[in-house]
A and B are shown apart, each in its own frame.
Chain A
């Protein structure tokens, strides 16, 4: 399958206030095919969101890509100028954010926010005349309103005609997230990047949101990069999964195989840490993510790994083929018998 988007060996870091270079993404590679759903899983702070922001080209100013490429179709996004990049936002790729309640502008109605997005999406600059032209034309106004209502109806929001004139504070978290999904889809994007879209919501609402996302992207043949720390959700949604740890992909492959027979001790640890509805005691992974400044030469997981050997501190194990279409970055990937 040829990929629509391919991130290759991406390295992103910043210079801290002491002038020390800190690397957050240490050579990430991933790819999404047309219509495919992949999941990025890992603990908070492992670099999932930074990867998403890098693809969208909305990294904070201090973060810089030092190495690697982000290829969309046949263009390297890291070499695009801002105008060309902006033209792709919302159309090539788009974002469903993590915190629905704070991701809509509080002082404008839903309709107003849709209006500007529909009228001006992908442009770098809107002059005063450009700004007023669609607003002064009754037919254009009506067309945009109709499109907004249609977009809201598509995400199963009740009475979208009333909703367009509401302010975000009049919406619940679940409704806000539906509005945001509608907003993300309004430009007919090729890839939806969903950054933990349900984490801030109640469990039942989260399930509804995930069902909706899945249904919408499948209906439109849209690809999706779903970021989560919840392995259960990842296994339900994704075709393939990338397990990230401390700025690296440590294991990747088809979701079912990776979760059934993990090849990296971190994946196995994550799977064991999922609470189950049985009497089985559930175990977490001891320790926390290492400080990105202190990882040094070897495998970043070596301090928390029950199977670490001397070789783990010497060099970073490359992500290599371990059979069944999977790759894992562990020197002992093929010899260990891991229990999920």
Chain B
């Protein structure tokens, strides 16, 4: 428990640092957001008025204090392009992104981990070479190119999967419970809708998962091979421990600790990939929202998206750190 508490404190410190950083960067960047928002025809009075309305004429410290106060009240300001509250926008777009991210993360782990174990166990066999070739391509192929290729072939050419969006425009989404269409459709036992939604999700998820999956595979393979050479493996084998138990329980648990750290770091990769994938597949998520905010220099929205992404990244790594402690008693108990 103390371990988890310490991690939480760390998370808070990181988030504070991030908020200061983002705020300062957004204010020192060249270009006046108000001028962008109002367009080239705006008069000086209009600009001054909007600046006042948004509090941009106040000292930086006051502006920052307002931002933080707003954050705790769930108020992220208004978008400079649509003038809608950003918090509401995020609430609309976040579930789609979460669904995509969690689904493809699970995909990456569920495919990457078994393949990593398999290639390590059958080292230098044909299976190993195929697995490594797949992994190498996964890391080497750029996300945007892979996304376009998959979309062009599977959607436009062969028409197996729908190319864009999250759901057909004429299909009613399931009632909002968790925000994930997959889970919500299951909650109302609508299997047809479930597969409909899944058909939209599968392509972006696979594209997004490819690279992290490949990295998990390579890392896990390397650390499995490393672990299999250790003394405890030899001793367990000599004592008659069943081989599959030894590998899938004893070796994997040791090897996974190392991989887990990387999965936390990979989360940053996921977010970067999500911006591209959501744009290519018109996925109505935070990534696409963020890209649009960047295009229109919508500073308030950029701050909000960046903070959210930062929070997600830091939270993912906190979860990883906690899991890590659970997996590895050496961290929990401390070395003597």
Judging by beta carbons under 8 Å apart, are B240 and A116 in contact?
A: no
Distance A97 CA – B230 CA, assembled complex (angstroms): 12
Give 1 or 0 for each of A81-119: 1 = CB within 8 Å of chain B CB. Answer: 000001111110011011100111111100001001100
- Given known contacts A167-B333, A170-B333, is B245 in contact with A58 (CB within 8 Å)? no
Among residues of A, the one whose C-beta sits closest to the C-beta of B253 is A107
Distance A180 CA – B239 CA, assembled complex (angstroms): 10
A108, A169, A187: the one within 8 Å of B336 (CB): A169
Residues of chain A within 8 A of B253, CB atoms compared: 107-108
User: Number of contacting residues on A, CB 8 A?
Assistant: 40
Among residues of A, the one whose C-beta sits closest to the C-beta of B249 is A116
Give 1 or 0 for each of A51-95: 1 = CB within 8 Å of chain B CB. Answer: 001001010000000000000000000000000001111110011
Q: Which of B38-46, B262-270, B323-331 contacts A (4 or more CB under 8 A)?
A: B323-331
Residues of chain B within 8 A of A91, CB atoms compared: 240
Judging by beta carbons under 8 Å apart, are B329 and A169 in contact?
A: yes
Judge if B48 is at the interface, Cβ distance under 8 Å: no
Give 1 or 0 for each of A30-61: 1 = CB within 8 Å of chain B CB. Answer: 00000000000000000000000100101000
Distance A180 CA – B234 CA, assembled complex (angstroms): 12
- Given known contacts A107-B254, A107-B257, A167-B329, is B238 in contact with A126 (CB within 8 Å)? no
Distance A69 CA – B232 CA, assembled complex (angstroms): 28
Judge if B93 is at the interface, Cβ distance under 8 Å: no
Q: Which of B189-246 contact A (CB under 8 A)?
A: 230-232, 234-245
Give the most central of B234, B240, B330: most A CB within 10 Å. B240
Give the Cβ gap from A206 to chain B, nearest Cβ, in Å: 18
Give the most central of B239, B243, B328: most A CB within 10 Å. B239
Residues of chain A within 8 A of B240, CB atoms compared: 86-91, 94, 117, 121-122, 187
User: Number of contacting residues on B, CB 8 A?
Assistant: 27
Give the Cβ gap from A14 to chain B, nearest Cβ, in Å: 15
Give 1 or 0 for each of A169-186: 1 = CB within 8 Å of chain B CB. Answer: 110000000001001100
Among residues of B, the one whose C-beta sits closest to the C-beta of A109 is B329
Give the Cβ gap from A50 to chain B, nearest Cβ, in Å: 12
Among residues of B, the one whose C-beta sits closest to the C-beta of A121 is B240
- Given known contacts A107-B253, A107-B254, A107-B329, is B245 in contact with A95 (CB within 8 Å)? no
Judging by beta carbons under 8 Å apart, are A103 and B235 in contact?
A: yes
Distance A97 CA – B239 CA, assembled complex (angstroms): 10
Q: Which of B232-290 contact A (CB under 8 A)?
A: 232, 234-245, 249-250, 253-254, 257
The 3 closest A-B pairs by CB, nearest first: A90-B240, A95-B238, A89-B240
State the A residues within 8 Å of B (CB). Answer: 53, 56, 58, 86-91, 94-95, 97-99, 102-108, 113, 116-117, 120-126, 131, 167, 169-170, 180, 183-184, 187, 193
A-B residue pairs in contact (CB < 8 Å), sample of 9: A58-B234, A90-B238, A95-B234, A103-B235, A122-B240, A125-B242, A131-B245, A183-B239, A184-B239
